[in-house]
Chain A
Amino acid sequence: MNPCAHHHPDDALAAFAADAVDDPGERRAIEGHLAHCPACRAHLATHERVLASLVEDEAPPSSLWDGIAARVAGPSLAGDTTAPAAPAAPANGSAHAAPAVPRLLAAASSPGTPPARPPRLVGSVRPSAAPPGPRRRGGERRRPRRLGLVAAAAALVAAAAAAPLAVTALHRSGGGPGPQVAAARTAAVLDDVTGRDMARVVERGGATYVVLDDLPPLPADRTYQLWSLDGPRPASLGVIGRGAARTVPVTLPPDTRRLAISDEPAGGSPEPTTAIAGTGRLT
Chain B
Amino acid sequence: MRALAGGDQGALAEIYNRYAGAVWAVARRVCNDRVLAEDVSQTVFVDLWQRPGRYDPARGRLRPWLVAQAHARAVDAVRSESARSRRQERDGQLAPTTTADVEAEVHAAALSEDLRRAVDGLGRDERAAIMLAYFGGRTYRETAELLGAPEGTVKTRIRRALAGLRQALEAEGVTP
Beta-carbon contact of A194 and B32 below 8 Å: yes
The answer to whether A45 and B64 touch (CB under 8 A), given A60-B41, A121-B38, A124-B35, is yes
Nearest CB on A from B76, distance (A): 8
Of the four ranges (under 10, 10 to 19, 20 to 34, 35 or more), the interface on chain A belongs to 35 or more
The answer to whether A193 and B20 touch (CB under 8 A), given A18-B158, A20-B133, A73-B9, is no
1/0 per position for A95-119, CB-CB distance to B under 8 A?
A: 0000110000000000000000000
Nearest CB on B from A50, distance (A): 4
A-contacting residues, B114-136, CB 8 Å: 114-115, 119, 130, 133-135
Q: Is the interface of B mostly helix, strand, loop or mixed?
A: helix
B-contacting residues, A1-46, CB 8 Å: 10-15, 17-23, 41-42, 45-46
Of the four ranges (under 10, 10 to 19, 20 to 34, 35 or more), the interface on chain B belongs to 35 or more
B174 within 8 Å of A (CB atoms): yes
- Tell me which of A77-85, A169-177, A204-212, A216-224 binds B: A77-85
A257 within 8 Å of B (CB atoms): no
Q: How many A-B residue pairs have CB under 8 A?
A: 218
Beta-carbon contact of B13 and A85 below 8 Å: yes
Interface residues of chain B, those whose CB is within 8 Å of chain A, are 9-10, 12-14, 16-18, 20-26, 28-29, 32-36, 38-39, 41-42, 45-46, 49, 59-61, 63-65, 67-68, 71-72, 75, 79, 90-91, 93-95, 106-107, 109-115, 119, 130, 133-135, 137-141, 143, 152, 154-156, 158-159, 161-162, 165-166, 169, 174, 176
Query: What is the bound-complex CA distance between A42 and B138, given in angstroms?
Result: 24
The answer to whether A68 and B28 touch (CB under 8 A), given A48-B60, A50-B169, is no
Q: Which residue of A lies closest to B44 (CB)?
A: A68
